[in-house]
Chain A
Amino acid sequence: MIATGLAVRVTTVLACACAALMMVTTFIDVMLRYFFGRPIGGAFEVTEISMGMLVFFALPAVMLRRENIVVTLLIERFPSRVQAWCAAIGDFLCAVALLFIAWRMWLHGARLLRFREVTMELAVPKGAIAQTMAVMLVLAAVCALIAGWKVLRASSLPAGAGRR
């Protein structure tokens, strides 16, 4: 569990780096284009790829901290033990779904690698992107399980969890 916590920190920092990269690239690209008439080559793709990676790098943290968007109208009226079970089952379902998507994405990535598909400007192998995302999904699934187990052990939902 400590290892997972550490991994989540690293992936969150990577997600932040993607967001910063995206902002800086777009900003500089626009400035260069309007003031010097020449954009950065591949800026479009840097933005596109960092967008995708950002989501998947941040997903483990979202799962671990139970920051999913949840409707709490009904379950908040249940006794706290029942609430905890509902939340844990929800987390379990999340984990199963994430693992399933990870499996399909890994295979999709393998196919892209086999056909040597690369992005147009920067020639990044698309399969590698898909498989990195798949690995992040596995980590996110582990985080969902940990979050569910914690809720069960505490036998109640942490205050404010899940509400956004």
Chain B
Amino acid sequence: MAWLAAGLGFAAVFALMLLGVPIAIAMLVVGFAGIWMLMGEGAAFGMMGQVPFNTTLSYELSVVPMFILMGAIISRTGMASDLYRLCNSLLGHLRGGLAMATIVACGGFSAVCGSSIATAATMAKVAIPEMRDYRYGEGFAAASVAAGGTLGILIPPSVIMVLYGIATGTDIGQLFIAGVVPGALAVSLYLLAVWVHARLHPAQAPGGRKADRAERLRLVAPVAPVVLLFLLIIGGLYFGLFTPTEAAGVGAGCALLIAAFRRVISWRDLFDSLVETVRTTASLFLVLIGALVFSNFVNLAGLPDALSSLISGLGLSPLGVILVILLIYVVLGMFMESLSMILLTIPVFFPIISAMGFNPVWFGIFAVMVTELSLITPPVGLNLFVIRGVIPGLAIGAIYRGIVPFVLADLVRIGLIIAFPAIVLWLPAMAAR
């Protein structure tokens, strides 16, 4: 019974989704219909009035718009090109150095931006023209930005971590802190991927100009505010000075002060940032509401219990379960939008994972990494399309070829956190609670 109801539910959501119905509405309608059938009219009708009201009136969720706003303001301050110039002066002269600079600059930008798409779109405008000038392989250049952009959701702040935290009741501050070390690992592995690619295809990734020490020092100053902002947010969370919402409010406020102080932002820019923020927030939250209704249905249908007994019946080990989940995510990630993929599957996977004794913070980071992978795997690697949207005339086939080393780096990283969970859990365990 559980299998039939839940199976039909998932099939219906996928069918509607593929026919172009907005994902939020597909989940909402199917979830509602399912609850109606299982629990009757009263429960279903009541839920439709209460879930949207109770979900959105939430202090915790206000982290999302405020961090989006912070990113929107920062991306209008020209900070991205300052960051890129600095990284370029440090790394640009190496073979593949401009791509390395791109990765590090993306990592830096991710530290003040919670969205992968925004990170990729912002950095593409800065980094790709530069790499073009030095005759980098086009696909490789675009792929390095697409991959670097995925750091946006791993290095805190991160929109997807907040939504995961809300959906599963996991501490958002802990998730943010847990993202720091894996973020550094991700940057290192991407740098390694660039280095290997540059060795194998020297013509695609030549070295750039060498900067002298004076120039490097001069380029540090404009980047300092971003670094301080990141340290303030993460330090505040680490030492327990802020709740995530307070950190977001302070972050957005400071971003605005920085922009005002540098006189780089007009009233018009500020208004545009706000408009961008509220639209993005509304479309994300609609998906969240749909996912909550659908996950209520999946739970009422008894799918998590049915799956748990199936797993114990098959005698799958915890590692086996994680690998199966990874496989499912890789396949789903090829054609699904990443956030909806996480919200749609969490109600099924999370109970199993926690029953098997996995740490919810660890699984959150795992889910984020799988999402990152889905952002760069063809055919629907969203970041690849974002970059093609920003830089017209890029051949999608070339980007697909260029992305391979980065996909491999992602897989290695996921393997590492499975083998050594301490990479994720060490820092949050040290933090003040």
**Residue in A26, A44, A50 whose Cβ sees the most chain B Cβ within 10 Å:** A26
Alpha-carbon distance between A49 and B57 when the two chains are bound, in angstroms? 6
Q: A58-B282, A97-B29, A160-B389 are in contact. Are A26 and B248 (CB under 8 A)?
A: yes
Is A15's CB within 8 Å of the partner chain B? yes
Separation of A83 and B246 alpha carbons in the complex (Å): 44
A23 to B48, CA, bound (A): 29
| Chain A residues closer than 8 Å to B147, beta-carbon distance | none
Using a CB-CB cutoff of 8 Å, which residues 33-50 of chain A contact chain B?
34, 44, 47-50
Compute the total of residue contacts between A and B using a CB distance below 8 Å: 191
Q: Report which residue of B22, B53, B248 has the largest number of chain A beta carbons within 10 angstroms of its beta carbon.
A: B22
Contact, CB under 8 Å: A51 / B22 = no
The answer to whether the Cβ of A146 comes within 8 Å of any Cβ in the partner chain is no
> With an 8 A cutoff between CB atoms, is B134 at the interface?
no
Mask, B9-41, CB within 8 Å of A = 1, is 000000011111111110011000000000000
B242 at the interface (CB under 8 A from A): yes
Chain B residues within an 8 Å CB radius of A48? 57-59, 62
Among B195-203, B210-218, B332-340, the stretch that binds chain A is: B332-340
Interface size class of B (residues with CB under 8 A): 35 or more
0/1 string, B272-286, CB within 8 A of A gives 1: 001101110111111
Q: Which residues of A contact B278 (CB under 8 A)?
A: 12, 15-16, 18-19, 54, 57-58, 61
Judged by a CB distance under 8 angstroms, whether B162 is at the interface is: no
Contact A69 B25 (CB under 8 A): no
Complex-state Cα separation, A71 to B279, whole angstroms: 18
* A158 interface contact, C-beta 8 A: no
CB <8 Å contact, B45 and A23: no
The 8 Å CB contact of B246, one of A20, A30, A68, is: A30
How distant is A19 from chain B, measured CB to nearest CB, in Å?
5
Give A62 to B287 CA distance when docked, in angstroms: 12
**Min CB distance, B252 to chain A, in Å?**
5
B245 touches A26 (CB 8 A): yes
Query: A71-84: contact bitstring with B at CB < 8 Å (1 yes, 0 no)?
Result: 11111000000010
CB distance from B93 to the nearest CB of A (A): 37
- Is residue A86 within 8 Å, beta carbon to beta carbon, of the partner chain? yes
Is A30's CB under 8 angstroms from B249's CB? yes
A7 in contact (CB, < 8 A): no
- A105 and B52 contacting across the interface, CB-CB below 8 Å: yes
Q: Which residue of A lies closest to B379 (CB)?
A: A73
A149 sits at the interface (CB 8 A): no
Taking CB atoms and an 8 Å cut-off, the chain A residues in 84-116 that contact chain B are: 86-87, 89-90, 93-94, 97, 100-101, 104-105, 107-108
A70 to chain B, nearest CB (A): 5
- Known contacts A108-B49, A163-B385; A44 and B18 CB within 8 A of each other: no
- CB pair B275–A24 under 8 Å, yes or no, is no
Contacts of A56 in B (CB 8 A): 56, 282
Specify the chain B residue showing the minimal Cβ separation from A94: B25
Chain B residue contacts of A58, Cβ below 8 A: 278-279, 281-282
Interchain CB contact under 8 A, B279 and A61 = yes
Specify which of A27, A54, A73, A104 is in contact with B48 (CB 8 Å cutoff). A104
- Residues of chain A within 8 A (CB-CB) of B249 are 22-23, 25-27, 29-30, 47
**B335 neighbours in A (Cβ, 8 Å):** 71, 73
Within 8 Å by CB of B21, from A16, A65, A90, A163, lies A90
A63 CA to B21 CA in the complex, in Å?
12
Kindly identify which residue among B16, B45, B275 contacts A104, using a CB–CB cutoff of 8 Å: B45
B423 touches A (CB below 8 Å): no
Known A-B contacts A19-B278, A104-B45; the reply to A67 vs B25 at CB < 8 A is no
Contact, CB under 8 Å: A90 / B19: yes
Give the CA-CA distance A19 to B48 in the complex, in Å. 25
Report the nearest A residue to B70, measured CB to CB. Answer: A23
> Distance in Å from the Cβ of A18 to the closest Cβ of chain B?
7
Which residues of A sit under 8 angstroms from B396, Cβ to Cβ?
none
A30 touching B250 in the complex, CB below 8 Å, given contacts A54-B281, A87-B20, A94-B22: yes
- B239: interface (CB < 8 Å): no
- B382 close to A (CB within 8 Å): yes
A62–B148 Cα distance when bound, in Å, is: 28
Q: How far is A64 from B390 in the complex, measured between Cα atoms in Å?
A: 23
Residue B235 is within 8 A (CB to CB) of chain A in the complex: no
In contact, A104 and B20 (Cβ under 8 angstroms): no
Q: List 12 additional contacts besides A52-B53, A55-B282; criterion CB under 8 Å.
A: A16-B274, A23-B66, A26-B246, A56-B56, A68-B25, A68-B283, A70-B337, A90-B21, A104-B45, A108-B53, A133-B52, A163-B385
Chain A contacts to B: CB under 8 angstroms: 12, 15-16, 18-20, 22-27, 29-30, 34, 44, 47-52, 54-59, 61-62, 65, 67-75, 83, 86-87, 89-90, 93-94, 97, 100-101, 104-105, 107-108, 129-130, 133, 160, 162-164
**16 residue pairs bridging A and B, Cβ less than 8 Å apart:** A26-B248, A26-B249, A27-B249, A29-B246, A54-B282, A69-B287, A70-B337, A71-B380, A73-B335, A75-B18, A87-B20, A104-B48, A104-B49, A108-B49, A108-B53, A164-B382
